Amino acid sequence: MKERQFLSLLDHTASSLSFQNEPSWMSDRRASALEQLPELDLPGTNLEDWRRTDVRGLSIDQFCLPMPEDVDPSLSPNQPENTELLAGLMMQQNGVTLDQIGELDSVYFADFQTALKEKPDLLQEYMGQAIRRNPSKDRSIFDVMQSAFLQGGYVLYIPTGVVVEKPFQVFKTLNGSSVADFSNTLIIAEDNSQATVLELQGSARENQAGLHCGAVEIFVGSNAHLNFVQIQDFNQQTWNFSTQRALIQQSANLRWITACLGSRLSKIDQLAELSESGANVDMLGLAFAQKRQHLDVHTYQKHSAAHTTSDLLYQNVLTDRSRTVWRGMIEVVKGAQEIDAYQKNENLLLDKRARADTIPGLEILADEVRCTHGATAGPVDPEQVYYLMSRGLSPEWAERTVVEGFFEPILQRIPSIDLRQRLTESVQNKLAMAHKT
């Protein structure tokens, strides 16, 4: 099969890079994943997790690991103007760090390859822990490939008691013809710490096919507070797959914001586990889908301890023949009493041809809980558009205003004015493009 040839090629390419100089535990991790790969095929729609997302259009054999000659610093995004307002900045292309600004003695912030050399024990302790604790129901070939060929990404470690007021910002860019990216995000906020992380993903060129198989693991220690914002804006020839896990301990708080704007197809498996009393998570997501984009997000709020809270809001705007899928689950394990959990998915359809699937769910094994969910899907309210047009706005600007208002509950909770404005402009640009087609 072409997939087998592809995996053999990847393995050969990996051996020619820097993988052979890694710690033995990392080599063993890769070897274990490589042993599993020959038994795996692309997931089919016969699997529940993939029933609404068909990846048969993915020619996996066309992709390869990036080589050094694929890196072109001139195609990196422009740095933020006021870097002094950041605790740290990292610019990556194809997993290679092109620039890094900001060095704080109190924290550890490094790319994955550097961290593997400087902090191997830290990575061995944490990397993969949250995913092993809450594995995907049907572990896909994309997850296993990520383990086998992992390169790129970053590690952020906030020690106990350290409060970082300024945000960290990371740019991840894909460049090259048919490049496959297997980068990793690992954030560890120890007890009583505080930090904000802003991660932006994109493509250097609009006409290059790409494959991104990523992983995100977040650890929030007791009484810690962490904000994590991830904006995905790959070009519409990129396939995006990501497994994301967070473990939140006693009286800790995580605000997790995800924006899905780009890619040809995205499949995100996102789970937050509230493992100790007093833990809280706010899971917020927005998506703008256009043309024939397919954006699939599976969220999971897992309450493993009593006296924990979670609040989830995911909002989608769809145009053209695009499709979104949101599957949400609130799980309360046996004995976890005094739980307050909520999830809601809202969909605004700007075209009759667009489709939004919304599937909320509850698994409750305790009595003293308050767990609720809701979902809506529908077109723009014509009365809202008429009102705005009566105030002098064109139909196009009236619709833009409605969309911005629709996203406002999430935008206003982004902990950075600059990033909030950046995201608003991205949505405006995509809406303007939709009106031109």
Helix axes 395-411, 382-390, angle to 10 degrees: 110
Q: Is the full-model pTM beyond 0.75? A: yes
The answer to whether the beta carbons of residues 133 and 248 sit under 8 Å apart is: no
Cβ-proximal residues to 386 (8 Å cutoff; 6+ apart), any chain: none
pLDDT given for residue 1 in this prediction: 40
Show the DSSP H helices in 49-198 as ranges: 112-118, 120-126, 129-133, 141-149
Give the mean pLDDT of 30-59: 92
What are the pLDDT digits (tens) for 142-182?
A: 999 999 999 899 999 999 999 999 999 999 999 988 999 99
Q: What is the helix, strand, coil percentage profile of the chain, to 5?
A: 30, 40, 35
Sheet holding 194-203, edge to edge: 96-101, 88-93, 168-174, 194-203, 225-233, 253-260, 280-289, 309-318, 339-349, 369-379
pLDDT given for residue 2 in this prediction: 47
Distances (CA, A) of 359 to 288, 299, 346: 19, 10, 11
Q: Are strands 280-289 and 323-332 parallel, antiparallel or unpaired?
A: unpaired
What are the pLDDT digits (tens) for 324-334?
A: 999 999 999 99
pLDDT given for residue 434 in this prediction: 73
What are the pLDDT digits (tens) for 104-117?
A: 889 999 999 999 99
What are the pLDDT digits (tens) for 238-297?
A: 999 999 999 999 999 999 999 999 999 999 999 999 999 999 999 999 999 999 999 999
Rounded to a whole number of angstroms, the CA Rg of the chain reads: 21
pLDDT interval class at 17 (50, 70, 90): low
Cβ-proximal residues to 188 (8 Å cutoff; 6+ apart), any chain: 122, 126, 155, 156, 157, 158, 219, 221
Burial 154-188 (b: 16+ CB within 10 A, else e): bbbbbeeebebeebbbbbbbbbbeebbbbbbbbbb
pLDDT given for residue 13 in this prediction: 52
pLDDT interval class at 103 (50, 70, 90): confident
pLDDT interval class at 77 (50, 70, 90): confident
Nearest to 273 by CA among 231, 314, 244: 244
What are the pLDDT digits (tens) for 362-409?
A: 999 998 999 999 999 999 998 998 899 999 999 888 888 999 899 999
pLDDT given for residue 73 in this prediction: 82
Asked if the model's pLDDT at residue 222 lies above 60, the reply is: yes
**CA gap 262, 204 in Å, rounded:** 13
pLDDT given for residue 7 in this prediction: 56
Residues in the chain, how many?
Answer: 437
- For residues 12 and 241, the model is more confident at 241
Asked if the model's pLDDT at residue 6 lies above 80, the reply is: no
